[in-house]
Amino acid sequence: MTTATKIKNDRILKALRCEATDRPPVWMMRQAGRYLPEYQAIRKQFSFLDLCKNPPKAAEVSVQPYEILGVDAIIMFSDILVPLEPMGSAVSFATGSPKFADPIRTPEQVDALKALDASELETSCSFVYETITEIKSRVKDEVPVLGFAGAPWTLASYMIEGGGSKDFAAIKTLSYQNPHAMHQLLQKLSDTIADYLILKLKHGADAVQLFDTWASMMTQEDYQEFALPYQQKIIAKIREKYPEASITLYVNGVANILDYMLQSGANCLSVDWRVNLAEVRSFVADRNIAIQGNFDPCKLLGTKQSVIDETKRMLELAGNEPGYIANLGHGILPMVPVENARAFIETIQANS
């Protein structure tokens, strides 16, 4: 975690602390990805996982959005499922989407999974930390470097469903038929992910984001049982080691659980486009909680002028109070024209 050196463009770090900035800082979730021809050129040489495990090339694609679009932060290129393989749950991306050949469906399978401590992670996921080091050496403290991880419920959903899902029936079946096994799995994941993020901060990440993308796909009561406690465990453990760490929590579809997200311990909530940004900003007023979001990624598929107009509208809703980071409400889509992504970034950066 960078403390000794000063980040030249530290707008995002200030916004995460709810300090005043001359303009809203901006980056985009999945900003290092398939919409960039430069990324596609490198991907032709590597499988997705091989690229994740190649620190020089992973660093190169991580830096591309900064060099091409001028974003205010670099989020390292990786995937939330990376730590699961050394835990004993192998994943492949042969079809472009994550697939688990042996989904976790029984208590015996949960028992067989191994929670990883810091020393084991530093060995099994060494490429992750080498990528952060490589990024830091390339950007020379020009902008912050962000690390990230998946939260336990979201990771468990992939492991149990065997990949993506529309109804999340398999994970809910395990939760309702054998809640003990479900909690055992979530605890193993939370122990692993807490150390995984701590190591990212140790190796130079300036802030981290916890993705609990699918945690909104349950009732409020289930969120309080199966998602929130494990978010809290991870964040509390990070803060034991790094009390001043900036931690952002993202959930896709926050409308019915926003007040519970406030209980997570995160100092920034990343919200999607289904909520009114002005109302969210009002909701967290006087709580010293930053807000990130919430441009609908599909709006980047419009005309350049419509992107500019809709971005200005988002900024109006966000208001001028400190503690706002402009971003998308989910990851950027592969078919987005680069000029539209640039228009989004430049419109925000002109808002000074």
Give the pLDDT band (50/70/90) at residue 3: very low
| pLDDT exceeds 90 at position 69 | yes
Q: Is 78 left (phi over 0), alpha (psi -120 to 50) or beta?
A: beta
Distance between CA atoms of 333 and 31, rounded to whole angstroms? 9
pLDDT, average across residues 210-215: 96
| pLDDT exceeds 70 at position 2 | no
Give the pLDDT band (50/70/90) at residue 212: very high
* Per-residue pLDDT at 28: 98
Q: Which of 93-102, 223-232, 253-262, 293-302 has the lowest mean pLDDT?
A: 93-102
Distance between CA atoms of 83 and 196, rounded to whole angstroms? 8
| pLDDT exceeds 70 at position 14 | yes
CB 13 within 8 A of CB 207: yes
pTM of the predicted model as reported, rounded to 2 decimal places: 0.97
pLDDT, average across residues 140-144: 95
Roughly how many angstroms between the first and final C-alpha of the chain, as a whole number? Answer: 29
- 264 secondary structure, DSSP code: G
For the chain, what percentages of helix, strand and coil (3-state, to nearest 5) are there? 50, 10, 40
Q: How many CA atoms lie within 13 A of 335 on its CB side?
A: 4
pLDDT, average across residues 222-227: 98
pLDDT, average across residues 103-131: 97
- 204 secondary structure, DSSP code: T
Average pLDDT, the chain: 96
pLDDT, average across residues 71-76: 98
| Cβ burial, residue 44 (10 Å; 0-12/13-18/19+) | exposed
Give the pLDDT band (50/70/90) at residue 351: confident
Q: Which domains does the chain have, with CATH numbers?
A: 11-349 (3.20.20.210)
- Catalytic amino acids? 30, 34, 43, 79, 158
pLDDT, average across residues 57-82: 98
| pLDDT exceeds 60 at position 277 | yes
The pLDDT > 70 percentage for the chain reads 98
- How many residues can be counted in the chain? 352
Give the pLDDT band (50/70/90) at residue 1: low
